[in-house]
């Protein structure tokens, strides 16, 4: 958890698409220690062991911003919905 409330309106540096992919590739084997959602909007924050945080925007007026869950469609699913809502589905079993 955060010890101080994070600031979500910070300017995010502009980087190339190649640099974005490289950043994600570097995170792929790092250990996740916490996952959290923003206070007002469902921004997804994935916190890693090396103290880096991957921020995924969770706010859009018309589109789903992100989804997380099982690939087979039979398990759980969490979706950041338009209007800053969260929807979730869980297995029937």
What residue spans define the domains of the chain?
Answer: 17-89
Q: Which residues of 43-58 are buried (b: 16+ CB within 10 A; e: fewer)?
A: bbbbbeeeeeeeeeeb
Tell which phi-psi region holds residue 33, choosing left (phi > 0), alpha (psi between -120 and 50) or beta: alpha
Closest CA to 44 of 9, 76, 80, 69: 80
Residue 65 is predicted with a pLDDT of: 93
pLDDT > 60? residue 4 = no
The continuous run of DSSP H or E covering 53 comes out as strand 53-56
**pLDDT (tens digit, 9 = 90+) per residue, 17-62?**
999 899 889 998 899 999 999 888 999 999 999 988 888 999 999 9
């Amino acid at each position: 958890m955060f010890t101080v409330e994070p600031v979500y309106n910070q300017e995010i540096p502009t980087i190339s698409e190649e640099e974005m992919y490289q950043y994600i590739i570097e995170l792929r084997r790092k250990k996740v220690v916490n996952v959290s959602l923003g206070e007002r909007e469902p921004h997804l924050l994935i916190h890693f062991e090396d103290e880096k945080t991957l921020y995924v925007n969770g706010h859009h007026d018309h589109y789903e911003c992100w989804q997380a869950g099982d690939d087979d469609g039979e398990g759980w699913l969490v979706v950041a919905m338009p209007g800053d809502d969260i929807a979730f589905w869980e297995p029937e079993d």
